[in-house]
Amino acid sequence: MTIRVQEDDFDLTRIYSELREAPTGQHTPGAISLFVGLVRDMNNNHTVAAMTLEHYPGMTETRLTAIRDAAMTRWPLGKAIIIHRVGKLYPNDQIVLVGATSSHRQAATEATAFMMDYLKTEAPFWKSEQTADGVTEWVSTRESDMTARTRWQETK
Amino acid sequence: MTIRVQEDDFDLTRIYSELREAPTGQHTPGAISLFVGLVRDMNNNHTVAAMTLEHYPGMTETRLTAIRDAAMTRWPLGKAIIIHRVGKLYPNDQIVLVGATSSHRQAATEATAFMMDYLKTEAPFWKSEQTADGVTEWVSTRESDMTARTRWQETK
Amino acid sequence: MNIRYFAWLREHIGASSEDITYDQTVKTVSDLVDILRQQSTGHQKALADMTLVRVAVNQVYVDIDHPVTAHDEVAFFPPVTGG
Amino acid sequence: MNIRYFAWLREHIGASSEDITYDQTVKTVSDLVDILRQQSTGHQKALADMTLVRVAVNQVYVDIDHPVTAHDEVAFFPPVTGG
């Protein structure tokens, strides 16, 4: 399963084992890159007590699949995976995992950064944060996320 | 232990758990980037049966520490770790792990790529590969590894 | 036509989805927005500044002048903040 | 002076380390290389083309014109290939 949107937590160990196995008929990967996003306990100078992730079922999976496919086309990857959680999460909980394998180190690391940058700007997820005193606020987008995505359009 | 040079295998799960815990007095990381290099079963169109990693004890640890420190200075990282194995290894064995945590996604991923690029060009390790028919050859350097390192000297 | 709202647009409007009768004069997303704004003060507030709103027709990102037809699913939501 | 060899330089020379008596005329790594080349055909082969060889004095990378003194540890090895 290369794209997963789920309420349940995910197990990095299991995903790593899957990535480490060569795809059928291919050689061992040589390089595995992984990125995990966790719920921070602090954001913009306020304490985060909990976070809720809303998404657009259907469109989310379509966008994530398109992002993964774009990475597979752009770099010589063995495997690529995107897992994103939805629902209520707490500080230090895992939110997102992106991983890629390749026989080339830079292909794996660049593809991972690429998938995260596109996920951040195109996948229909919305975070609301609950502060310690019970106030809930929608998280704003950051300029830096759009800048990060744009760089992939300029150069390979 | 942020720098390790060892014959024994390493456990990604345990390292990930350590990285996930905030450094004392700091906030939860938010972003964890990991890179693992594995022994390939094929290199330059020949089958690899085994690989031996030689190193320069003392200088290896000094260089890896300098590389890690440079990453910690250049990016706002929580933790950074480099583990490299030596001795005899077989296809699909883990060779190297580099990991970094940060509250900023790009700091974690860039620092990981930076540490790998410098490790590849400055850390005194030498690989010899044994083919299926018993021939042992020293692995040559690749131009691309030097190019990868040079980019960090030009731009941040 | 099925309309969907997410995040703070959903909160302002008080519903995550609504079906509206297709109006022949509605040719584009922009025409649809004009009609939706008249539904309630919540709609008006949610759709007041379309530079803050992203639009998807049948789950594909589109611009405000994109055509819409009777059987489309049209979604309005803020810029995404996952990951 | 303690000299160390790694990878294929070690194989050509047939030793990973050797102590050589400090020679007052040796001022730089380059002078040392000239003397080492005279030790054996293995040394000559290993140190024939210094563009293929990296040098570290006291475990720090240096150029061929770097000074050396009696108590230095001087290492010769190919470009690194770990990771």
Q: What is the pLDDT of residue B143?
A: 86
Position B134 scores a pLDDT of: 86
User: Is residue C82 a part of any domain in this protein?
Assistant: no
Residue B141, C-beta contacts closer than 8 angstroms, at least 6 positions apart: D78, D79, D80, D81
Average pLDDT over residues A128-141: 92
What is the rounded distance in angstroms from the CA atom of residue C54 to the CA atom of residue C4?
Answer: 12
Amino acid code (one letter) for D30: S
Q: Do A105 and B34 touch (CB under 8 A)?
A: no
Q: Return the partners of chain C (3 or more C-beta pairs < 8 Å).
A: A
pLDDT tens profile B121-141 = 999 999 999 998 889 999 999
Using only C-alpha atoms, chain B has a radius of gyration, in whole angstroms, of: 16
pLDDT at position B155 is: 56
User: Total structural domains in chain D?
Assistant: 1
| Cβ atoms < 10 Å from Cβ of C67 | 12
pLDDT of amino acid A24: 84
Tell me the two tokens of residue D46. Answer: 């290993």
What was the pLDDT predicted at A132? 85
Chain D: residue whose CA lies nearest to B140: D81
pLDDT for A22: 87
Interface test with B, best of A32, A117, A118 (most B CBs within 10 A): A32
Backbone phi and psi for residue B113, each to the nearest 5 degrees, phi listed first: -65, -40
- Would you call A28 and B116 a contact, using CB atoms and an 8 Å cutoff? no
Residues A93, A38: contact at Cβ < 8 Å? yes
C60 has pLDDT over 60: yes
Nearest by CB: B103 against A16, A36, A40: A40
Element containing residue A101 per DSSP (H, E): strand A94-102
Closest Cα to residue A2, out of A65, A66, A71, A53?
A65
pLDDT at B27 over 90: no
CB pairs under 8 A between A and B: 108
Residues of A in contact with C75 (CB under 8 A): 56, 59
Predicted pLDDT of residue A133:
86
Report percent pLDDT > 70 for chain C: 100
The DSSP H or E segment spanning A60 is: helix A59-74
Do B and D make contact, counting contact as 3+ CB pairs within 8 angstroms?
A: yes
User: Residue B95: pLDDT band by 50, 70, 90 thresholds?
Assistant: very high
How far apart (Å, rounded) are the C-alpha atoms in residues B155 and B141?
Answer: 24
Share the mean pLDDT of chain D.
Answer: 97
Give domain status of residue D82, yes or no. Answer: no
Would you say B111 and B33 are in contact if contact means Cβ atoms under 8 Å apart? Answer: yes
* C64: Cβ contacts below 8 Å, ≥ 6 apart: C28, C29, C30, C33, C50, C55
Separation in Å, CA of B79 to nearest CA in chain A: 14
Collect the ranges in chain D with pLDDT lower than 70: none
Whole-angstrom distance, CA of residue D44 vs CA of residue D34: 9
CA distances from A141 to A87, A121, B61, C3, C52 (A): 19, 9, 41, 24, 11
Residue with tokens 């064995």: B93
Average pLDDT value for chain A:
94
Element (H, E) at D29: helix D29-37
The model carries a pTM of 0.95
Phi–psi pair at D36, nearest 5 degrees:
-65, -40
Q: Considering only CA atoms, which of A20, A44, A49 is closest in space to residue A135? A: A49
- Is residue B154 predicted with pLDDT exceeding 80? no
DSSP chain B: --EEEESS---HHHHHHHHHSPPTTS---SEEEEEEEE--SEETTEEEEEEEEEE-TTHHHHHHHHHHHHHHHHS-EEEEEEEEE-EEE-TT-EEEEEEEEESSHHHHHHHHHHHHHHHHHHS-EEEEEEETTS-EEEPPP-HHHHHHHHHHHH--
**pLDDT at residue A82, as a whole number:** 98
CA angle A148, A151, A155 (to 5 degrees): 155
Please give the C-alpha separations between residue B45 and each of A27, A28, A134, in angstroms, as whole numbers: 11, 13, 61
Q: What is the pLDDT of residues A103-114, one digit of tens each?
A: 999 999 999 999
The overall average pLDDT reported for chain B is 94
Residues facing A89 on adjacent strands: A51
Cβ distance B85 to B8 under 8 Å? yes
C-alpha C40/C-alpha C5 separation (Å) is 14
Of D59, D61, D82, the CB nearest to B53: D82
- Using CB atoms, which residue from D8, D59, D82 is nearest to B125? D82
Of chain B residues 42-71, which have a CB less than 8 A from chain A? 42
Q: From the CA of C45, how many Å to the nearest CA of chain A?
A: 16
User: What's C48's domain CATH number?
Assistant: 3.10.20.30
Please state, in angstroms and rounded to a whole number, the distance separating the CA atoms of residues A74 and D25. Answer: 58
Give the confidence band of A155 by pLDDT, cuts at 50, 70, 90.
low
Contact A27 B13 (CB under 8 A): no
Q: Is the pLDDT of residue A74 over 80?
A: yes
Give buried/exposed letters for C15-28 (b at 16+ CB in 10 A, else e): eeeeeeeeeeebeb
User: How does A70-96 read in b/e, with b if 16+ C-beta sit within 10 Å?
Assistant: bbbeebebbbbbbbbbbeebebbebbb
- Please, which pLDDT band fits residue C23 given cuts at 50, 70 and 90? confident
Residue of A nearest to C82 (CA): A125
Contact D80 B96 (CB under 8 A): no
Q: Is A16 in contact with A83 (CB distance < 8 Å)?
A: no
Chains contacting chain A through 3 or more C-beta pairs under 8 A: B, C
Across the interface, of C56, C78, C83, the residue whose CB is closest to A37 is: C83
Give, in words, the CATH class of B3-20+28-154. alpha beta
Asked if A155 is an interface residue toward chain B (Cβ–Cβ < 8 A), one would say no
Residues in chain A with CB shorter than 8 Å from the CB of B119 are none
D6 contacts B139? CB cut-off 8 A:
no
B109 with A112: Cβ contact below 8 A: yes
Rounded to a whole number of angstroms, the distance from the CA of B91 to the nearest CA of chain A is 7
> pLDDT exceeding 70 applies to what percent of chain A?
98
The residue with greater pLDDT, C10 or A44, is C10
For residue A95, pLDDT over 60 is answered with yes
The rounded distance, in Å, linking the Cα atoms of A109 and A104 is 9
Nearest to A40 among B16, B28, B106 (CB): B28
Query: Per the CB < 8 Å rule, is D6 touching B54?
Result: yes
Tokens 């660049």, residue located = A110
Q: What is the pLDDT of residue B43?
A: 83
User: In chain B, whose CA is at the least distance from the CA of A14?
Assistant: B13
B1 pLDDT higher than 80: no
Give the structural domain span for C18. Answer: 2-77
**Spatial separation of the C-alpha atoms in residues D33 and B71, rounded to whole Å:** 35
Contact A38 B16 (CB under 8 A): no
Residues of chain C with Cβ-Cβ distance to A124 below 8 Å are 6, 56, 77, 80, 82
* 3-state secondary structure at position A83: strand
Residue B89 has pLDDT above 70, yes or no: yes
How close does chain B come to A57, measured CA to CA in Å? 25
Q: Quick check: A156 pLDDT over 70?
A: no
C/D touch flag: 3 or more CB pairs below 8 Å: no
> Could you write out the DSSP letters of every residue in C32-82?
HHHHHHTT-HHHHHHTS-GGG-EEEETTEEE-TT-B--TT-EEEEEPPP--
